[in-house]
Structure 1
Amino acid sequence: MGGERRAARVGDGVGVSLDSAAVQAAGRVSGAAAAAGAEAAARPPGRRLVTEYVILETPRVLAQIVEDEFGRRYYVVNGPVFDGAVRLVYDRLMSVILGRLDLLRRFSELDELDDGIEAVLRLGRRLGRGLRRRVERMGARFEEVLVSAAYYVARDLVGYGVLDPLLRDPRIEDISCNGLFSPVFVYHSEFEWLTTEIQFSSREELEKVVMKLALRAGVEPSLARPVVEGVLRPEGYRVHIVLDVVSRRGHGFTIRKFRAEPFTVVELLRRRTLEPGIAALLWAALQYKQGVVIYGPTGSGKTTLLNALAMLLPPEYKVVTIEDTPEIYLPFHENWAALHTRLSDAPGVQNVTLQAQVESALRMRPDVIIVGEIRSREAFAFFQALATGHGGLTTVHAESAEVLIRRLSSPPMNVPKSLIAAAKLYVNILRIERGGRVLRRVVRLDEAAEYDPRSDEIILRRLYGWSRERDEWTSFGVAGSSFVRSVADLLATSPEAVVRDLEMRATVLSWAAERNLGVMELHELVRRYMRSPEKVYREVLAGGARQYKFPEAVRR
């Protein structure tokens, strides 16, 4: 790469080294054939199958989670058999496509794997009887062999080669390669970090993969810029690439995925990430333009919770989202401006930072500003927006409320504590290991009760707390909260009326979770509640909903 970099051909095969006797015995094969063999390899003996599920139906590709005798777990892709007949057809198809510029261009323009498979099948059936006879002389059925070969050809030309099943699996959140002779690791939504059987055994093999990722992301890693990041198109996944000039183990990359259909509050309630009363408070806070800050450590689910809450915003609101890399998705908000940053070293190209985009958003007359994560000077602009009456939602990396306030008020954010108090609710979400399982829980919900100018301190009052022993939440009295009084003043109503509305919202959300409403159904329910809350509340009660009531305040 860098100055000696050559152009990668679309569809260059990607070789892997597998801990599998089947591939070891195959001898010296092409990189593409070795990659295909990785998927077709049988599970090594001595490994117990934990679970398996389908990634692709036709042809059938399975993801298997297996465990060895030491308790280590692995992620194994089980695809179509890549035997001699399939390899014969694969090599013939690749030879034809790579030998014709028009075909190569046509395949390079395809985005969907299914479209690629169909195109390869059509090509294979046009290649004539000679190929069919050769396959049948090997004792194989031509159509079955062609389907398997078409999958591997499309995977290498249209998809991401050996990485394609990992990118296609909705339960994989991150894919990480640390260099040569090191397994590729995946972060699984249920099993966390798992070792795959993919391992790059030469610089050339790894470089082909890195080049393909760079091309798809529209970035150019080089000796001058050995660390780059971008967004894979059309999937929108974030990729971070590091070249071997600054990585001792060789080229490396990390792919950060997100779900095509984001988590909703319904799913988070069903997973017990939070409880209906907390969800109702956050829903009301966003509707009434009270600032909300979500904080927690890396991997705790901050962005997931942020997106789920954002989908509860009134559909009529003008929403502006600001991110480094686009992850937030609001499918039903037409009046949504999705801004992101642009950083460039090129002369004459303007850098567009988060701070600049937050300041730009203020000129768009937004109802709510959502910043994916605040880390630097954009924090001041965000809290200033809250102080001037805009609704706001953001995340901050912090392990506790004390650390959060300290980070916000210290360099490089430098937000005065008097301004930090402009956010009304602070949500702490953590990744919890409990009973051998990994959970995400909102462990604490605080309100900014007041700011004391004499001591320059923000007084936080806890509204909800989570118990690790019981895996339950305790309410510390919502009725008398500063948040309820603030909303009551805003609506010119009584605190009792606000509490009743919160209980109605919690009842409606609890009912939605019990019915496991989909994205569209939840959107319609939220829209109807905004227009006729009493009517929707009565409907869900008639439909069997259990009435939610805030418990009496308990001693903290």
Structure 2
Amino acid sequence: MRSLIDRFAASEPETTGCATTFEDGTLVVDAAGRDGALASSPAWRAAVVRALADRDAADVVVRRRGLEYRYDDCGVALLTAAGRFVDLVADRDERLADLAARDPLEATREATARAGPAAAIAAESGLAVVADRVADYEDALTPSVGLSIAHSFVDRTAVDDAQLRGVRTLETGSEARIYARPDSVPLYALEVVDLELAADERELLLEAYAAVADGVVEGDRVASRAVERVADGPTDPLLTAVLAKHTRGYGVLEDLFADPRVSDVYVTSPVADNPLRVVVDGESMATNIHLTPDGAGALASRVRRTSGRSFSRASPTVDATAELENGTGVRVAGVTGPVADGVAFAFRERADDRFTLPALVANDTMTAEAAAFLSVAVERNAAILVAGTRGAGKTTLLGTLLYELSPGTRTVVIEDTPELPVGPLQSVDRDVQSLRTGTGDGPEISASDALRTALRLGDGALVVGEIRGEEAPVLYEAMRVGANANAVLGTIHGDGGDAVYERVVSDLEVPPSSFGATDLVVTVQAYRMPAGRKRRLAAIEEVVVGEEGVRFESLYELEGDRPTSTARIDRGESRLVDRLAGPTETYADVRAAIDDRRSSLADLAADGRTAPAEVAAVYADRGRGE
């Protein structure tokens, strides 16, 4: 297969004109010639080596018609050593100096084959050592390639010695290939659509980008308007999409998150030394994409603009949310100096706010029977903790349970970073008030103060996005004394009731007697299937307080890969079901309500009526004891 450079160069005339400049330790070559490929062009190598005869460079980048070719450490070491050799040998042997500029490997062989000053200079300059490690120019001088406005590069050599596992075309037009590698984690190789543009399209894109950067074009449709301004003809949707990605969007992250299998993207500092990493269906993978330091800085600026939060050496951490061009919401955690060696980020797809309990039944996350029990428990004001490990789907399940509250219930949601579906709930006429803690800018309200405020904002359900700190004792004290007699819902890290109890009582210092105010611990899991990563309900445990203290009784637990009833409810043994009964109801009435709810949820799932608006319409007239 021909390289990207060969493909872009095939139909273009040759010229040897170029200009070399140094930018903060990087030798930049602006190429006007055929391709500027240092591996195949002695003339281009000579231009670079002669520039390096005057001073060393940490990086070498060739720019040509909208693309940048960035050479790695081995190639830079060879070219830099050749530059030092030329500088030292020129006064003694002009012919050898000229050969070293055009063909450093051949010049090294000639210099070291004969005794005398040339051999000594080859050793002194380091050229002999570097050349000995290089098989040929294709080995040392195969560059990473990137669109000049993207601040990211594709490493085309990363797939060497890798076995293709699968290919997927993404909505952005890019292509994702996953490779198994014998001695490392799998490789997620992105064929970025930007690099498939023809040279004239790239130049048009650069003009449009300049129009946006200079403020010549502004407004909501800035990308399409900029392309229209510089193009002689109809707007190309692909050019518009690529421009939007690199102006209003998050660059190559737009491509990565266009893959529905990708849940996390990690930018590790220093970015020049580390590829982006992704989590695909729960599996960690390296990518063939590197950000430049400028690219990391551009991401930091984008996070500051979209979140409104400070992020600098004076405030070196950030926790925010962002929305990509395709509408995908991501949670952003970032660090910078002095707490890290440069800028680093973790981007994680936010909980999907499109899910409802019927949707989770339809996609086999849980059975209709288990969903019905949770629905009735939430509607009847149970105190529920949704537990699980990182990425298990705790927030997604918590968000779906909020639709199960009675339509007239006043709900106050406390979160440090907005992830629960407050907006979608409000859009279907639910009374939901959000409270934010830890904004990172200006005056803040602590989690415990937010909780106390929430208890004064109206009598209704209380939702804590994640229970993890000082708010825990306050929350449990409020539950214990009955300050909030309605539903209390939250997520917590832990795998099962015993782990949650240990976390709440031992780590968060909640008295065991107060923990007894919890009614249910609902555990979710993420697991891998041949078709990819899935999530499931793993267990529903009721909290029982007796003479021996707190214990957990399973109501639903995994049988195979599906949560199945333990028959504790059917045998009349569930203390919670007994407590859920209204003043005029019996245990049997609650069981009947659960069975009716099971039929209703199963019907909605089977009919495909799972969207929030459809579910809310069905729930509108739903009352207790349906």
Common topology (TM > 0.5):
yes
Residue 269 of structure 1 is matched in structure 2 by 361
Question: Structure 1 counterpart of 2:541, which letter?
Answer: D
Are the equivalent residues in 2 in contact too, given 1:292–1:425 (CA < 8 A)?
A: yes
1:66 paired with 2:161, answer no
Q: 1:17 to 1:243 in 2, by over 3 A?
A: farther
1:175 paired with 2:265, answer yes
Q: 1:416 to 1:88 in 2, by over 3 A?
A: same
1:278-289 pair list within 5 angstroms: 278-289=370-381
1:526-545 pair list within 5 angstroms: 526-530=619-623, 533=626
Residue 84 of structure 1 is matched in structure 2 by 199
Per-residue CA distance 1:31-53 (angstroms, 9 max, x = gap): 31675x85999998965362424
Question: Structure 2 counterpart of 1:76, which letter?
Answer: L
Residue 401 of structure 1 is matched in structure 2 by 497
Residue 208 of structure 1 and its aligned partner are, at CA, apart by 2.6
The whole-number CA distance in structure 2 between the counterparts of 1:18 and 1:521 is 55
Are the equivalent residues in 2 in contact too, given 1:295–1:429 (CA < 8 A)?
A: yes
Bigger shift: residues 313-322 or 150-159:
150-159
* Of 168, 174, 191, the match for 1:52: 168
Are the equivalent residues in 2 in contact too, given 1:445–1:463 (CA < 8 A)?
A: yes
Structure 1: which 5+ runs fail to align?
1-12, 126-131, 133-141, 534-556
* Of 475, 485, 490, the match for 2:566: 475
Q: 1:442 to 1:493 in 2, by over 3 A?
A: same
Aligned length: 476
The whole-number CA distance in structure 2 between the counterparts of 1:90 and 1:41 is 27
What SS is found at the alignment partner of 2:623?
helix
Q: 1:531 to 1:183 in 2, by over 3 A?
A: same
Residue 515 of structure 1 is matched in structure 2 by 607
Q: 1:27 to 1:233 in 2, by over 3 A?
A: closer
Residue 327 of structure 1 and its aligned partner are, at CA, apart by 0.5
Are the equivalent residues in 1 in contact too, given 2:209–2:226 (CA < 8 A)?
A: no
Residue 532 of structure 1 and its aligned partner are, at CA, apart by 8.9
Q: 1:42 to 1:251 in 2, by over 3 A?
A: closer
Q: 1:472 to 1:51 in 2, by over 3 A?
A: farther
Question: Structure 2 counterpart of 1:416, which letter?
Answer: P
The whole-number CA distance in structure 2 between the counterparts of 1:264 and 1:85 is 48
Question: Structure 2 counterpart of 1:228, which letter?
Answer: V
Q: 1:385 to 1:391 in 2, by over 3 A?
A: farther
Residue 208 of structure 2 is matched in structure 1 by 93
1:236-315 pair list within 5 angstroms: 237-248=330-341, 250-258=342-350, 261-315=353-407
What SS is found at the alignment partner of 1:55?
coil
1:186 paired with 2:278, answer yes
Per-residue CA distance 1:413-440 (angstroms, 9 max, x = gap): 3222222222211112223346785442
Per-residue CA distance 1:170-229 (angstroms, 9 max, x = gap): 5533221112221212233x35434332212x4333223323323322233222322222
Residue 339 of structure 1 is matched in structure 2 by 435
Residue 315 of structure 2 is matched in structure 1 by 225
* Of 457, 461, 471, the match for 1:368: 461
The whole-number CA distance in structure 1 between the counterparts of 2:544 and 2:146 is 68
Question: Structure 1 counterpart of 2:471, which letter?
Answer: E
Residue 124 of structure 1 is matched in structure 2 by 230
The whole-number CA distance in structure 1 between the counterparts of 2:167 and 2:145 is 33
Are the equivalent residues in 1 in contact too, given 2:413–2:433 (CA < 8 A)?
A: yes
The whole-number CA distance in structure 2 between the counterparts of 1:16 and 1:372 is 45
Are the equivalent residues in 1 in contact too, given 2:170–2:255 (CA < 8 A)?
A: no
When normalised by structure 2's length, the TM-score is: 0.68
* Structure number with larger C-alpha Rg: 2
Are the equivalent residues in 1 in contact too, given 2:409–2:431 (CA < 8 A)?
A: yes
1:161 paired with 2:251, answer yes
Question: Structure 2 counterpart of 1:449, which letter?
Answer: V
Per-residue CA distance 1:111-130 (angstroms, 9 max, x = gap): xxxx34432333134xxxxx
Per-residue CA distance 1:468-512 (angstroms, 9 max, x = gap): 4x6452423213111121122x34211111101101111211222
How much identity, in percent, do the aligned residues show? 21
What SS is found at the alignment partner of 2:276?
strand
1:316-355 pair list within 5 angstroms: 316-330=408-422, 331=424, 332-344=428-440, 349-355=442-448
Are the equivalent residues in 1 in contact too, given 2:384–2:518 (CA < 8 A)?
A: yes
The whole-number CA distance in structure 2 between the counterparts of 1:367 and 1:504 is 25
The whole-number CA distance in structure 1 between the counterparts of 2:541 and 2:575 is 11
Residue 307 of structure 1 and its aligned partner are, at CA, apart by 0.8
Per-residue CA distance 1:511-536 (angstroms, 9 max, x = gap): 22222323122222222443893xxx
Per-residue CA distance 1:318-341 (angstroms, 9 max, x = gap): 111111100000422431101111
Residue 526 of structure 2 is matched in structure 1 by 431
Q: 1:96 to 1:521 in 2, by over 3 A?
A: closer
Question: Structure 2 counterpart of 1:373, which letter?
Answer: E
Bigger shift: residues 390-399 or 61-70:
61-70
Bigger shift: residues 191-200 or 351-360:
191-200
Are the equivalent residues in 1 in contact too, given 2:145–2:154 (CA < 8 A)?
A: no
Residue 206 of structure 1 is matched in structure 2 by 296
Q: 1:439 to 1:30 in 2, by over 3 A?
A: closer
Per-residue CA distance 1:249-275 (angstroms, 9 max, x = gap): x32111222256432222322333222
The whole-number CA distance in structure 1 between the counterparts of 2:241 and 2:266 is 24
Q: 1:334 to 1:501 in 2, by over 3 A?
A: closer
Bigger shift: residues 171-180 or 299-308:
171-180
Q: 1:308 to 1:92 in 2, by over 3 A?
A: same
Are the equivalent residues in 2 in contact too, given 1:121–1:147 (CA < 8 A)?
A: no
Are the equivalent residues in 1 in contact too, given 2:516–2:543 (CA < 8 A)?
A: yes
Are the equivalent residues in 2 in contact too, given 1:464–1:473 (CA < 8 A)?
A: yes
Q: 1:362 to 1:451 in 2, by over 3 A?
A: farther
Residue 440 of structure 1 is matched in structure 2 by 535
Structure 2: which 5+ runs fail to align?
1-65, 73-137
What SS is found at the alignment partner of 1:394?
strand
Residue 150 of structure 1 is matched in structure 2 by 240
Per-residue CA distance 1:135-190 (angstroms, 9 max, x = gap): xxxxxxx658x4443333222222122222234555533221112221212233x3
Question: Structure 1 counterpart of 2:321, which letter?
Answer: V
Residue 28 of structure 1 and its aligned partner are, at CA, apart by 8.8
Q: 1:55 to 1:77 in 2, by over 3 A?
A: farther
1:449 paired with 2:544, answer yes
Residue 55 of structure 1 and its aligned partner are, at CA, apart by 1.9
Q: 1:241 to 1:494 in 2, by over 3 A?
A: same
The whole-number CA distance in structure 1 between the counterparts of 2:310 and 2:67 is 20
Q: Which has the higher contact order (CA 8 A, sep 6+)?
A: 1
* Of 581, 592, 595, the match for 1:503: 595
Bigger shift: residues 66-75 or 414-423:
66-75
Q: 1:333 to 1:385 in 2, by over 3 A?
A: farther
1:406-417 pair list within 5 angstroms: 406-411=502-507, 413-417=508-512
Q: 1:97 to 1:26 in 2, by over 3 A?
A: farther
Q: 1:441 to 1:34 in 2, by over 3 A?
A: closer
1:34-45 pair list within 5 angstroms: 35=152, 38=154
Question: Structure 1 counterpart of 2:148, which letter?
Answer: G
Residue 361 of structure 1 and its aligned partner are, at CA, apart by 0.8
Calculate the aligned-residue CA RMSD, in Å.
3.4
Question: Structure 1 counterpart of 2:372, which letter?
Answer: A
Residue 16 of structure 1 and its aligned partner are, at CA, apart by 9.3
Per-residue CA distance 1:93-135 (angstroms, 9 max, x = gap): 2334434x342xx25xx3xxxx34432333134xxxxxx5xxx
